[in-house]
């Protein structure tokens, strides 16, 4: 359909986007999509395109833009806040946000999410600056008897032939002249089971006739505990 006009109308049931056009037979067409409105139960909902009829663009740029300058000196500030509360039983899953980038051609690069924390002036931050932050939390007084918990989860769902030499679970590039000197920084870690003194029995990380490491990092691979040797000196 050749598009001849686009406009947004406000009605009793919400906000609607319309696209006028002319089809191959020369007939005028009016296609409408509800942007912000209410579902059949009277609850608010919003839709911008659909999987079968997405919003199409042929130029570079952003579909949505949010710009804010804020001079507040205490508290938290965000451009977008999304909270999902799940009250269903086992069998329910969900996310407060889902982002999906799909490539059907051969783009130069693609990412599901690109997050940046940039220092644009001054002398830095008083606390922490992180490009991406994840938190797993629970309420006080609970006993968590089941499940797996992690602030960060990484999944691979590659179903195609893969050049394994170019694939890894983590990829890093130190792009500018100022380099990051630590591989990772564990500011507060568990010293009762995760970061502990190495064992000294035969075959252990602290075996004085073999590795002779001072500490180990405890991990689990394919369900079995394994230990990465750590040396507390390197002189």
DSSP per residue, 152-168: --------S---GGG--
Output the pLDDT for position 60. 87
The Cα–Cα gap between 210 and 223 comes to 26
In this structure, the number of other CB atoms found within 10 A of the CB of residue 25 comes to 6
Of 10, 11, 55, the residue nearest 31 (C-alpha): 55
Residue for token pair 């992690």? 150
Q: Are 34 and 47 in contact (CB under 8 A)?
A: yes
Higher-pLDDT residue of 40, 109: 109
pLDDT(3) > 50: no
Model confidence over 123-182: pLDDT tens digits? 999 999 999 999 999 999 999 998 999 999 999 998 888 876 788 899 999 999 999 999
Output the pLDDT for position 1. 43
Grouping H, G, I as helix, E, B as strand and the rest as coil, residue 164 is helix
> What mean pLDDT do residues 25-47 have?
60
Please name the residues in contact with 150: beta carbons below 8 A apart, sequence gap of 6 or more.
136
């Amino acid at each position: 359909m050749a598009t001849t006009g686009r406009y947004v109308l406000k009605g009793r049931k919400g906000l609607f986007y319309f696209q006028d056009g002319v089809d191959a037979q020369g007939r005028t067409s009016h296609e409408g999509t509800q942007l912000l409105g209410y579902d059949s139960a009277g609850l608010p909902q919003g839709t911008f395109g659909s999987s079968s009829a997405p919003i199409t663009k042929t130029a570079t740029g952003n579909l949505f833009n949010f710009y804010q300058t804020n001079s507040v000196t205490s508290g938290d500030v965000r451009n977008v806040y999304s909270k999902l509360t799940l009250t269903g039983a086992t069998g329910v899953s969900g996310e407060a946000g889902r982002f999906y980038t799909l490539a059907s051609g051969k783009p130069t690069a693609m990412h599901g999410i690109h997050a940046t924390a940039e220092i644009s002036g001054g002398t830095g931050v008083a606390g922490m600056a992180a490009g991406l932050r994840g938190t797993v939390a629970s309420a006080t007084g609970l006993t968590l008897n089941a499940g797996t918990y992690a602030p960060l989860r990484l999944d691979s769902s590659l179903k195609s032939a893969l050049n394994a030499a170019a694939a890894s679970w983590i990829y890093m590039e130190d792009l500018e002249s100022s380099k990051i000197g630590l591989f990772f920084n564990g500011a507060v870690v568990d010293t009762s089971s995760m970061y502990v003194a190495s064992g000294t029995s035969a075959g252990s990380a602290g075996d004085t006739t073999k590795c002779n490491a001072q500490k180990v990092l405890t991990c689990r691979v394919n369900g079995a505990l394994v230990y990465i040797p750590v040396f507390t000196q390197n002189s």
